Structure 1
Amino acid sequence: MQLEIRPDPAEVGRARQWARSRLAGLGIEADEPLAETLVLLVSELVTNAVVHTGRPAVLRLSLPGTVEETAQEAEAEADESATVRLEVADTSSRPPVPRCVGSDATGGRGLALVDCLADRWGWNAEGSGKSIWCELDRCSQAGEGAAVAYGGGLSAYEDLAFEAV
């Protein structure tokens, strides 16, 4: 499933609404921790794409039980450990860059939040641009051996934030 995102801050709300509707279609209620976390991650990654590139982007969701599900994901779902994957692709080739922000800064903490909330995240080149992705293991509990592609949780990000550009 994917949603085209225009380079307009209003698109962030539309992306959250779209993600909620996809989750509801799978019987995942809006107040479930998975849904709340996924919607926050959508908000952060789409905001980064819209604000820092000023170009169109594509939001992709791979949810258990959808047509995009692979045989491996189907096995994982049978084991009650299905993974939800979120990707935001844009046409900027600039990688996410760490930056320091002061405690009074109003932004600059988006990817630090992604690192703390997702089980895994990263980025890769995609065509002439890039894709920033994160994954949530549907049945995982925070702190129970969840792999993190970058960093070591919130304490690793005091006075440091990431900017996706």
Structure 2
Amino acid sequence: MRRILRAYLLAWEMPELIDAAGLALTELIANVVRHVPGRRCSLLMLRRPEGLRVEVTDACPSPPLSTAVDELAEGGRGLLITEAVTDRWGWQPLTGGGGRTGKTVWFECDAKAQR
């Protein structure tokens, strides 16, 4: 997924976002692997006039873990890292018909102004 993200960012002429967006994407996918039964999710990458938005949607209705972590804990830093390397992040519960449950966790990275 990081390679795909990199290819899109290069095509969109936003190479400065590759490292931060790649790291944040890795952290969100790692959270799915660790915390979502069935380890399934969908990924949406959106080019925006101001940069990039990435959304990871899964079927687990539980909110993402807090960014407040124990310094000695072995895990729990994924969202802290995401917050540190992106311009914005957040989450929203899925709302829709058919009894569908889950959430979308997203982040945005702003592209640097062209000189």
TM-score (norm 2): 0.80
Q: Secondary structure at the match of 2:71?
A: coil
How far 1:46 moved relative to its partner?
Answer: 0.8
Query: What is the aligned partner in structure 1 of residue 44 from structure 2?
Result: 60
RMSD: 1.9
Residue 23 (structure 1) aligns with: 9
Indicate the SS of the match to 1:97. Answer: coil
Unaligned runs of 5+ in 1: 1-14, 65-72, 74-81, 141-165
Larger Rg over CA atoms? 1
Question: 4+ residue runs of structure 1 moved beyond 3 angstroms?
Answer: none
> How far is 1:61 from its partner?
0.6
Q: How far, CA to CA, are the matches of 1:115 and 1:53 in structure 2?
A: 21
Note the alpha carbon deviations across 1:90-143, whole angstroms, 9 max, x for none. Answer: 00000113263233x332101011112221111001241100011111127xxx
Q: Report the 3-state secondary structure (helix = DSSP H, G, I; strand = E; otherwise coil) of the residue aligned with 2:13.
A: coil
- Of 6, 11, 31, the match for 1:48: 31
Describe how 1:84-123 pairs up with structure 2 within 5 A: 84-98=52-66, 100-103=69-72, 105-123=73-91
Q: Sequence identity, in percent?
A: 32
Q: What is the DSSP-based 3-state SS (H/G/I as helix, E as strand, rest coil) of the residue aligned with 2:24?
A: helix
Q: CA deviation at 1:52?
A: 0.9
Normalized against structure 1, the TM-score is what?
0.58
Which residue in 2 is equivalent to 1:138?
111
Q: For 2:2 and 2:87, how far apart are their aligned partners in 1?
A: 20
1:36 is displaced (CA, Å) by: 0.6
Cα distance in 2 between the residues matched to 1:19 and 1:83? 13
Contact 1:50 1:57 in 2 (8 A): no
What residue number does 2:97 align with? none
Q: 2:18 aligns with which of 26, 35, 43?
A: 35
- Runs (5+) with no aligned partner, structure 2: 95-99
